[in-house]
């Protein structure tokens, strides 16, 4: 039943965004066996659903607990892999990292928004280091992802979706094994810089 509802929810969201927002998905990522970390920009509450719909595998991600009480939306995001997190826990970096480590060690791919919060104007913000820490600690590659148009379709504070064109694209796989010869702090810094470069390229900000 869970797998059926996931497939149904993904197909429903894909059809809705395709018709209403003319959703387009760019180059599909070449995925290795095993879990990956999808690291995306974040400027709208729509982003987790959009990336989840565009990505070929089911993704686990953390979402505000209050979203699960919204009729229909709560059921859909749960089916698409969302896990509720209280406001208090979402502010605790260690608790968040621990949950993502559990997902990855269980063989599940995860979705992370490394900016740490939604950007107000759709521009990419500085990245936090948690995503690089997870990739190196769990030996899991990162798939960069970029969502365009969602900040216009549903800006922060809005509860209505506007019929604005949206696109989701994926970048080249970033393998933490490429940084094994570096000291841990340097490896995380270099991986984070590579991720930032990929996201800027996908967003056309270079």
Q: In this predicted model, what pLDDT tens digit does every residue of 129-157 receive, in sequence order? A: 999 999 999 999 999 999 999 999 998 88
pLDDT digits (tens, 9 = 90+) for 85-105: 776 655 567 778 888 999 999
- For residue 180, which of 139, 128, 151 has the smallest C-alpha distance? 139
Provide the pLDDT for residue 89. 53
Provide the pLDDT for residue 42. 93
Residue bearing the bigger pLDDT, 158 or 12: 12
In CATH, what number is assigned to the domain containing residue 129? Answer: 3.40.1130.10
Query: Are the CB atoms for 59 and 110 separated by under 8 Å?
Result: yes
Domain of 29?
A: 2-203
Q: Indicate the number of domains in the chain.
A: 1
């Amino acid at each position: 039943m869970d797998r059926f509802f996931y497939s149904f929810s993904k197909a429903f969201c894909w059809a809705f965004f395709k018709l209403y927002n003319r959703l387009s998905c760019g180059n599909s990522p070449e995925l290795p066996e095993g879990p990956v970390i999808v690291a995306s920009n974040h400027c709208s509450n729509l982003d987790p659903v959009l990336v989840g719909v565009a990505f070929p595998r089911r993704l686990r991600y953390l979402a505000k607990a209050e979203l699960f009480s919204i009729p229909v939306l709560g059921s859909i995001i749960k089916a698409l892999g969302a896990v509720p997190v209280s406001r208090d826990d979402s502010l605790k970096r260690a608790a968040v990292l621990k949950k993502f480590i559990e997902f990855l060690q269980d063989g599940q791919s995860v979705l992370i928004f490394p900016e740490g919060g939604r950007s107000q104007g759709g521009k990419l913000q500085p990245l936090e280091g948690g995503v690089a820490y997870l990739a190196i600690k769990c030996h899991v590659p990162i798939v960069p992802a970029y969502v365009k148009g969602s900040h216009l379709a549903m800006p922060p504070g809005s509860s209505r979706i506007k019929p604005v064109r949206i696109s989701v694209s994926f970048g080249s796989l970033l393998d933490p094994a490429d940084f094994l010869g570096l000291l841990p702090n340097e490896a995380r810094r270099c991986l984070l810089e590579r991720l930032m470069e990929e996201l800027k390229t996908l967003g056309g900000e270079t």
